[in-house]
Homo-oligomer: A and B are copies of this chain.
Amino acid sequence: MKKLLLLSLIALPALAISPVEVSRGARDYRIKHEREIVAELMDLLAIPNLASDSTNIEKNANALVTMLTRRGADAKLLRVEGAPPVVYATIPARGAKTTIAFYAHYDGQPVDPKQWTTPPWQPVLRAPNGNAVELSKLIDPETRIYARSASDDKAPIIAMLAALDALKSVKAVPSVNLKFAFEGEEEAGSPHLAAYFEKYPAEMTADAWMLCDGPVHQSRHMQLYFGARGVTDLEITAYGPLRPLHSGHYGNWAPNPIVTLTHLIDSMRDTNGKILIDGYYDDVTPLTGAERDALAAIPNIDDDLKRELALGRVEGEGKALNELILLPALNLRGFLGGHVEEQASNTISTEAKASIDFRLVPAETPEKIRERVERHITAQNFFIVRETPDAATRIAHPNVVKLVWGPGYPAARTAMDLPVSRRVANVITAAQGVPPYLLPSLGGSVPMYLFQRGNTPVVGLPIVNHDNNQHAANENLRIQNLWDGVEIFAALFTNLR
């Protein structure tokens, strides 16, 4: 055994393959296997992946176990009752004392298929001009794959798997013990992730976590993030008459629930993004000097973005996007009452609904947000209920609203100057030839706070394009971002310490 071990050690290439060498090797490998890599991603994207669709979620999880096992990883499913499984895998590095865990998620946001050009789970390749591209043809790196989760968040998974293949092709091995944990309900708010950390402390522990989620900078430049905003969401229903009423016979008298709700919404937020709820900004801490410096190093692309998005104005009273996404936010996800256009009728509806997501900064918690929001709504003369109110309840109060809060979680931050934080940035700098931008926090939310338990460093490592229609219809991945991801993961797997 001892002899065999020695022999196999001797048979290994030198551990110290530089980021440049390994990323070049990964590029050579990728160029030879482009179509295989894209085909593997498309196969994975063809499996529907709503967290609530347990049959298909299991199919995704099983496919990932097979894909990881094929790369020599020791893969299995972790299970918490009532939750999609976590796909877990390890690849030990001989002699390594450090374990780095890579997180991604395989579930996707809900879809409205009517809004998609092609069905969300029938992945297609389209050229920048919109024409369909056959996989059998050579792939222009500006080609995009259109499918739910093409970017968010199945692309990083495929990039990691391809990077493992690439390491083999250049006979390189990981420099640290690798762990992979792929969640199946991130887009549903990760309601069981805490339970996974509780139930599987050995598996869900590492010296540092890399969160492979979110997009690169809008300039297409690589960026790392060291924090994420928290999130919570709220469904509001306002009530009108018990049955729909003819607007001619009852308008001006029977309250219209749409109008009730527009006024409630407007009491909470202005058209500049400012939240008007009392005490809402009390927990906001100003940016530190280091954070301001990091932000200052990132080019301001707001004007380009305005043009790209055809915006005639922006919110935030002159502050830059990078700064605004470090503040609390109240976003209207949806508003639905009555009908519009061809479906409109001259009716006063029985109810109107709004859906809100709140983004939280450090020191805010979902509980504090709920308390402040509900205090505000009560102060607007609303009676709050949790279930659909009966007629007696509706008669008893001038305004009744049903509030249903979704699962939420707080924000998190990792110090930018920890050794592992610096190492990740340095490896990427060496592999790509330019330093990544460093963001104190992502504007979006990932449940980073869970990974931070016991003060574990957590670094966010996004690879996908910013203009990916993430969370919306026609989500897509620009192929070049997948290729960049393969090189970056190959460099990190072999050069982290």
* Residues of chain A at the chain B interface (Cβ within 8 Å): 52, 109-110, 112, 187, 214-215, 229, 231, 233, 235, 239, 241-256, 258-260, 262-263, 265-266, 269-271, 273, 302, 306-316, 321, 324-325, 327, 329, 331-349, 352-355, 357, 359, 391-392, 394-400, 442-445, 466-467, 469-473
Pick 30 A–B contacts, CB within 8 A, sort by A.
Answer: A214-B249, A231-B346, A242-B308, A242-B310, A246-B443, A246-B472, A247-B359, A248-B359, A250-B325, A251-B273, A252-B316, A253-B273, A253-B314, A253-B324, A254-B311, A255-B311, A255-B315, A259-B265, A262-B332, A262-B335, A312-B395, A312-B396, A312-B400, A332-B337, A333-B346, A335-B337, A336-B336, A340-B355, A347-B471, A347-B472
Are A325 and B110 in contact (CB-based, < 8 A)? no
The answer to whether A467 and B341 touch across the interface, beta carbons within 8 angstroms, is no
Q: Which of B262, B263, B336, B357 contacts A247 (CB 8 A)?
A: B357
A432 to B341, CA, bound (A): 43
Q: How far is B359's CA from A313's CA once the two chains are assembled, in angstroms?
A: 34
Q: In the complex, which residue of chain B has the Cβ closest to the Cβ of A466?
A: B249
Bound complex: CA of A242 vs CA of B121, how far in Å?
23
* Beyond A109-B346, A242-B310, 19 additional pairs, beta carbon < 8 A: A110-B344, A215-B246, A233-B344, A241-B311, A244-B469, A245-B309, A246-B472, A247-B359, A251-B325, A254-B314, A255-B314, A262-B262, A333-B345, A334-B337, A334-B340, A335-B340, A335-B352, A336-B339, A346-B357
Tell me which of B214, B306, B353 contacts A341 (CB under 8 A): B353
Chain B contacts of A258 at CB under 8 A?
265, 332, 334-335
Given A313-B255, A325-B248, A359-B248, are A110 and B399 also a contact pair (CB < 8 Å)?
no
Q: Is the CB of B248 within 8 A of A442?
A: yes
For the complex, give the distance between the alpha carbons of A336 and B343 in Å.
Answer: 11
A238 to chain B, nearest CB (A): 11
Q: Which of A255, A308, A359 has the most CB of B within 10 A?
A: A255
Chain B residues within an 8 Å CB radius of A247: 329, 331, 333, 357, 359, 471
Closest chain-B Cβ to A435's Cβ sits at a distance in Å of 21
Inter-chain contacts of A338 with B (CB < 8 A): 332-335, 355
Residues of B within 8 A of A214 (CB): 249
Indicate whether A334 sits within 8 Å of B329 (C-beta atoms), given known contacts A265-B259, A345-B109: no
Tell me the bound Cα distance from A260 to B231 in angstroms. Answer: 23
Q: Is the CB of B359 within 8 A of A325?
A: no
The answer to whether A309 touches B243, judged by C-beta atoms less than 8 angstroms apart, is yes
User: Do the beta carbons of B333 and A340 come within 8 Å of each other?
Assistant: yes
